[in-house]
Amino acid sequence: MIKDFMYYNPVKLVFGEGKLEEAGKWAKEYGKKAVIVTTGTLFKESGLVDRLQKILKDSGVDSIYYPDVDANPLNTQIDKGAETARAKGCDLVIGLGGGSAIDAAKGMAIVLGHKRPIWDFCIGADAAAITVKTYPIIAITTTSGTGSECTQWSVITNPDTEEKPGIGSDYTFAKVAIVDPELMVSMPPKITASTGFDTLAHSIEAYTADLATPITDMGCEQAIRLVGRYLRRVVKNGEDREARNAMAYANSLAGIGISVGIVTVCHGLAHSIGGLTGSTHGETLAAMTPHTMRFSMKAFPDKFRKIAMFLRDECGLPENYSLEDSIKEVEDLIRDIGLGAPLSQQGLKEKDIERAADGVIRYMGGSITNDPATPSREDLIGIIRKAF
């Protein structure tokens, strides 16, 4: 029997080397003046922003540049960016970079359309509060991780409350996602490893989630295989074009997976801990994924057994693999790509362990109910302590 399910993902995905050159063609369908959002000035210094602005101009689209966004985008930065874009008459938002830039672009699109601070749409807000007024978004990703170009989700940090929720609605999907692996060649090994592990975590969580569908399962299975085959290669040699292309594709597949299957408790924990510490998302996931897998797999053993098979890029029957085989494959990958620092080395203080668990319950509760094992508060604290 095929389970009942709902599937919806309206993103126009434009994939391939050199596809940045098509940005103007797509942008002119949605606006006349774009605000280009980046995290810092690296892409301005490298010439990428100027290149994109020329591509847009050649298609008749004017643009401004907004680089004042942190690696964990702050609500205040999003509000300020939207204010700047409104004053300059922008009607389109382009996120250029990794998930942080794209998340910030989504947040700015919400603020521009609704003329309210972004935090109004975060903690305790209904997704229905984000409406068709949201400005159109184009996502141009430069990393193989987060999947934000293919999802409706935006992750926003409030430094005053130390909270880091994920928000989104049908109106925060990008109109167009441009995935050009050429833009990822210069990504440093540490970022390649961290974002690549985020891709794996997305795939594992969406695959084993209660909201998983037969369609997202296909993408997640392929994404896990690609990560197992290519992530080590691309961390070792960032100019390996075959591996870069494969990881870019895996990331988009995983993003589509979490747009519908969403995430489970590991991501909920990573959000809460990241809000408290400002830690790097992929590194926090790497510290916890083996522990959350070991907790959740007892409720969904057949799928969790397959993860070892996919990471080894083998075919067979789930019963030929043990649950611990899957844990070992993930742990080996974490070690081989240079991740695995415990949470205590990522800024989490022991006194904040219970606070981190409470944060998941308060504003990432969907990750608990979507997890096949539905962890309690005590379970969350236990997982954090094991990763600490």
The answer on pLDDT for 344 being more than 90 is: yes
252 neighbors 149 (Cβ within 8 angstroms): yes
- The average confidence (pLDDT) of the chain is 96
User: 139: pLDDT confidence band, cut at 50, 70 and 90?
Assistant: very high
Structure pTM? 0.96
Q: What is the pLDDT of residues 86-116, one digit of tens each?
A: 999 999 999 999 999 999 999 999 999 999 9
Q: Which pLDDT belongs to residue 16?
A: 97
DSSP 219-233: HHHHHHHHHHHHHHH
154-155 vs 33-37, strand pairing mode: unpaired
Q: Which pLDDT belongs to residue 318?
A: 78
User: 34: pLDDT confidence band, cut at 50, 70 and 90?
Assistant: very high
Q: Which pLDDT belongs to residue 351?
A: 97
Region 216-231: mean pLDDT is 98
Region 293-309: mean pLDDT is 94
Region 201-225: mean pLDDT is 97
Q: What is the pLDDT of residues 225-258, one digit of tens each?
A: 999 999 999 999 999 999 999 999 999 999 999 9
Return the CATH number of the domain spanning residue range 12-184. Answer: 3.40.50.1970
Q: What is the pLDDT of residues 175-192, one digit of tens each?
A: 999 999 999 999 999 999
Q: What percent of the chain has pLDDT over 70?
A: 100
Distance spanning both ends of the chain, measured CA to CA: 41
In terms of CATH, what superfamily is 189-387? Dehydroquinate synthase-like - alpha domain (1.20.1090.10)
Question: Is residue 39 classed as helix, strand or coil in its secondary structure?
Answer: coil
User: Nearest 5°: CA angle at 99, between 232 and 109?
Assistant: 165
The answer on pLDDT for 127 being more than 80 is: no
Question: Is residue 361 classed as helix, strand or coil in its secondary structure?
Answer: helix
Region 44-49: mean pLDDT is 96
Q: Where in the chain is CATH 3.40.50.1970? A: 12-184
Q: Where in the chain is CATH 1.20.1090.10? A: 189-387
Number of neighbouring beta carbons within 10 Å of residue 108: 33
The answer on pLDDT for 125 being more than 80 is: no
